[in-house]
Each structure stands twice: as C-alpha cells, then as structure tokens.
Copies of this chain bind each other. A is one copy, B any other.
Amino acid sequence: MGAVLDVAISTLLSPIILFFALGMFAALLRSQMSVPEAFAKGLAIYLMMAIGLKGGVEMSKNPLTMDVMLVLLAGVVLSFLIPLIAFVLLRLTTKLDQTNAAATAAHYGSISIVTFVAATEAVRLSGLDAGGHLVAVAALMETPAIITALFLASRGAGKRDEPVAGSEQGELIREVFLNASIVVLVGALAIGWIAGEEGTASIQPFFVGLFQGVLCLFLLDMGLSAGRGLRQGWRQLTAAIVGFGLYMPLLSAVIAAGAAYLLGMPPGDAALLITLTASASYIAVPAAMRLALPEAKPSIYLTLSLGVTFPFNVTIGIPIYIYLALLINGQG
C-alpha cells in the first residue's frame, strides 16, 4: 500500500502530469494561449508511432503465445461489453436520451492512448514489467465499443431508415477501422515487430529518447483542451453525469481486474489492461459519433470524457489500477 502511495505521489509530481495541470489551470484562468492544432496533431502521430514501435519491438522478442491471444480476446470482449453496462447506468441514473447515452457509452468502452501511456510510465516506476502486446490490445479495444453503441442507439422504433444524404457505403467503417490512431498504432507495431531491436536501433533516439518530453508538450495541450472544455461545457453536466464520469472508470477497472485474474495476467500487464478498460476515448470515438450519431451532443460526451474522466484517471485512477493489479496477483 505504501508503495502504491509512492507511485501515486510520484505520478502526481511527474512533469507530465504537472504540465497537464498547468494547461488546465491556464485554461480555467481563461488564458488565450493555445498549441496550434497542426502541431498537436503531428505530435499525436509521433506518440502513436513511438508506442507502436516499442510494443512491436518487445513482441518481436517473444513468440506469440496462447496467453497473449487470450488477452487480446479479453480486450475485445471488454470493449464490446462495457458500453452495455455504461448505457444501462446512464439511462437509469441520468436524464440522457437513448442517443446521447449510447454515444457516451461508446467513449467509455473505447480507450485513451494517453492514459495508457501514463499508466505505462507509472507501471515502470513501480518496478513492474509489461508486455508489448498490450499495445495491440489498445488498438483492438478502440472500435468494438462503437459497434455496441450503434446497436444500442438504433434499437427501438422511429429510427431513421434511409441513410443521410451523401453518406457512402463503408465511410463509417473506414473512419472507425482505419482512423489515424489505429493505422499508426497497428502499422508501427507491425514495423517494430518486423524490424526488431536491431532494425530500429537508428530510430530509437527519436522515438524512445524524446518520448517523455514530447508527452509533456502534448499533455500541456490536453490540459488546455480539457480545461477549456470544462469551462465551456460544465453547464451541460448534471451531478449525475459527472458522477458517472468518476465511478464508471472504477467499475470498468473492477471488471477488467476480474478478467485479468481469470487469465492469470502478471501485475504489469494486468495494470495496463485495467487502465485501458477504465479509460475513455476523446479523439477516435467523438469523430465516429459525429458521423454515425450526429444528433448526440459533443458538449456532453466530450466534456465528460476529456474534462472529468481523463484528469481523474491520470491522477488518482492509475495508482488505484496498479493497486488492483497487484491485488489480484496477491501482492496488494
């Protein structure tokens, strides 16, 4: 427990989280500063390449075992499943209508790559190890939640039958399965796997050496986004909705911990699977929702995911998830 507290404190005082706090603070004080969108998007691509490569290189060191395959499968199942639970809870405890509840649920079934990265750091600081295949799990968990949400939103009568004008066969599928983060994560994972440690040696200074620093810059921007979203959108959030943004990750975490326990995952891997399940999307899913459920309100699902759940996860959540992972391994 003491060790977990140490992790919690060193997480909170790490420059990455401090820059996030700086951004959030500046936005709440209504500073006009911003990171240009093109630059931030470039950094996001860098981060995903780096994560993918790292995972791929690590995976290239060990053969693909049945255990690994089961973890991948567990991730997919969790991503399909969590939105169901989230949807039911939202409908019972908040006043959100079917569409908004489904759209919000999709966010919680999908994942946040930055939360994943922050957890990777915390896991390392805790002296634990995690396998490269968790990056593959992350990529796999992005989309199933969207499918569940679309199913939930379309249930019941009165739904639009004819497609929206101009919509095209396959456009949603392309958006969902071939969005930047999946293409880059999976592609870089494969490249890391093929090229291996030796083949990627010459690009390590860029992708490994700079990773932490770039993350600081990116989190400054995320803090600005989250703070501004919160300042502008908090009126749309009732107490019940905010509550959901705080207890849902914990609930997801417990479910994921159960799965990790059943699969006998080592603590590092388990901590990352739990974090992925507990994290909520704020890039890929909002984009997909604009196409698939345009009548759902971004000011609800985005404010909640980026302004409430993300800050909660990277500060308080991750130490809890590591603790859970130790617990199921009898080391809590």
Contacts and interface: CB of A to CB of B under 8 A. Distances in A.
Interface of A: 13-15, 18-19, 22, 25-26, 29-43, 45-46, 49, 53, 174-175, 178-180, 183-184, 187-188, 190-191, 194-195, 199-200, 202-207, 209-210, 212-214, 216-217, 220
B33 A42 contact: no
B178 A29 contact: yes
Contact of A26 (B187, B203, B207, B220): B187
B37 A36 contact: yes
Contact of A38 (B15, B37, B190, B191): B37
State the number of copies, please.
Answer: 3
A41 B39 CA distance: 8
A19 B191 contact: yes
27 contacts: A13-B195, A13-B199, A15-B195, A15-B200, A19-B188, A22-B183, A22-B187, A29-B174, A29-B178, A30-B178, A31-B178, A31-B179, A32-B175, A33-B183, A35-B45, A36-B42, A37-B38, A39-B45, A40-B42, A42-B42, A45-B220, A49-B216, A49-B220, A184-B220, A203-B212, A203-B213, A207-B213
